[in-house]
Amino acid sequence: MLSGPSETGKTWAALWRLDSLMRATPLSQNVLARKLQVSIWGTVLITYQRIQALRTDLGETPAEPFGGQMPQWYDYSNGARLWIGGMDNPNKILSGERDYIYINQAEELELNDWETLTTRATGRGAVTNTPMIFGDCNPGPEDHWILKREALTVFHSTHRDNPSLYDEDGNITEQGERTMKTLHALTGVRKARLCDGKWVGAEGQFFEVFDFDLHTCEPFVIPADWPIWGALDYGFSHPTAFGLFTQDNDGGIYLIGEHIQHKWLVPQHCKAIRRLAERLNISWSRVEIVVAGHDVFQQRGASDSRTIADQYCDAIDPETGKAIGIINLKKATIDRITGAQELLARLGNPEVNIAPTLKFFNTCKRTIATMTRMVHNPNDSEDVKKVNADMNGEGGDDPYDMVRYGVMYKKREGAVFSMGETSPVAQVQQSGLGMIL
């Protein structure tokens, strides 16, 4: 995968590679696709046609289109064929084994789309000995499947890779001046992605002020006089999200640990939650309360009338038979707008020198990613849009709900973190205070 900000030449490079592979592989069957078929003809196909014009100028035979103004495929003089399509109408592009598959704007695809495509480039019926699937993408959210897929190699491009923007000596061109001026004028997530090439956040981000340097920190030992509590957002098909929180003596809240998993039974969650506390050197007896969504306490029609809270209370370790239940579950404050506004207030605003009173240990990666992915509810700008996880338990707003419950347990009292080296984190790290078991 070739990743990078806008205007780095990713699409040209990927198409040149695809075209060269087809010219070197007679009779090959190949694919050029995007998420939506309709988006191909006015974008990536224009660049592909420019490459065919360049091939003509170089004395080579261009590929011949079939299908009028919106070609369905291109044929090469050596018998190779390039199918054009989208994952919304995949019949032609997925009807048989393919030699080379190129996906433009691959960040638009779901993981399921990509994995379906990989089943069509296995080499079983290919004429090449090196079938492959490759693509280009703009950066998306930092928990995108592209970054987490181990079998996928990601190469990163920069604006200096585009010779129309920077010459061979690294000097910016006239076109480069115009392009970079436009990109630097972008704001928020669009600037971070399309200008800086960072995988962050989401369009319409609710917590625009969220900053990794400001709102995350390295784990540190928790002083003996700091309270510990938990928050739980229950799920089965969508993830169960649990977090451990603490509060310093000035009122600042920290999320210090997370457990997020879907399709687990309650005893498995209880065991993992207790192990989370152990890893943080926190005795479970120190956890004063676990606040949870109200669905945990509702009757669900079970013959024994047991609620999810009852199941958490009575959980037994399936391996040892030891009681591992969570008996201190209480109903959380669940008002969405109040919770969202409280989080906004605690994140602060450095532009007007309002420091945060909420931070996340940088080990809580899924929760941090969720916070940057939350967007405004189109029906209520003061609320966060409800988002469900996919079939793999990815995405969704479950960790956000967990944070909302956890933060609302402690009332905001106007305390702020110091912006200098005397912050609570620095004070604790410098003091050498240990954990209490």
Residue 325 has pLDDT above 60, yes or no: yes
Segment of 106-120, 177-191, 368-382, 416-430 carrying the highest mean pLDDT:
106-120
pLDDT digits (tens, 9 = 90+) for 78-115: 999 999 999 988 887 888 899 999 999 999 999 999 99
pLDDT digits (tens, 9 = 90+) for 15-56: 999 999 999 999 999 999 999 999 998 899 999 999 999 999
Alpha helices per DSSP H over 159-230: 174-184, 188-190, 212-215
Domain parsing of the chain, residue ranges: 2-159, 212-430
- Tell me the pLDDT band of 203, cut-offs 50, 70 and 90: low
Nearest to 131, CA basis, from 119, 143, 116, 145? 119
Q: What's this model's pTM, rounded to 2 decimal places?
A: 0.63
Fold designation for 212-430 = Nucleotidyltransferase; domain 5 (3.30.420)
C-alpha span between 408 and 412 (Å, rounded): 8
Residue 154: its H or E element: none
- Backbone phi, then psi, for 60, in 5-degree steps? -100, 160
Q: What is residue 422's predicted lDDT score, i.e. its pLDDT?
A: 38
C-alpha span between 209 and 215 (Å, rounded): 9
Token duo for residue 417: 């973190």
Q: What is residue 302's predicted lDDT score, i.e. its pLDDT?
A: 57
C-alpha span between 58 and 77 (Å, rounded): 16
Residue 414 has pLDDT above 50, yes or no: no
pLDDT digits (tens, 9 = 90+) for 254-264: 999 999 999 99
Q: What is residue 421's predicted lDDT score, i.e. its pLDDT?
A: 36
Indicate the range of 306-310, 354-358, 418-422 predicted with least confidence. 418-422
C-alpha span between 281 and 299 (Å, rounded): 35
Q: What is residue 140's predicted lDDT score, i.e. its pLDDT?
A: 87
Q: What is residue 21's predicted lDDT score, i.e. its pLDDT?
A: 97
To the nearest 10°, report the CA torsion of 20, 24, 30, 32.
Answer: 10
pLDDT digits (tens, 9 = 90+) for 136-167: 999 988 778 999 899 999 999 999 999 999 99
Q: What is residue 202's predicted lDDT score, i.e. its pLDDT?
A: 67
Task: Tell me the CATH number for domain 2-159.
Answer: 3.40.50.300
3-state SS assignment for residue 372: helix
Q: What is residue 159's predicted lDDT score, i.e. its pLDDT?
A: 95
pLDDT digits (tens, 9 = 90+) for 238-252: 999 999 999 999 999
Q: What is residue 233's predicted lDDT score, i.e. its pLDDT?
A: 98
For the chain, give percent helix, strand, coil, nearest 5.
30, 20, 45
C-alpha span between 346 and 424 (Å, rounded): 15
**Contact between residue 136 and residue 104 where contact means Cβ atoms under 8 Å apart:** yes
Residue 362 has pLDDT above 60, yes or no: yes
What mean pLDDT do residues 356-366 have? Answer: 95
- Tell me the pLDDT band of 222, cut-offs 50, 70 and 90: very high
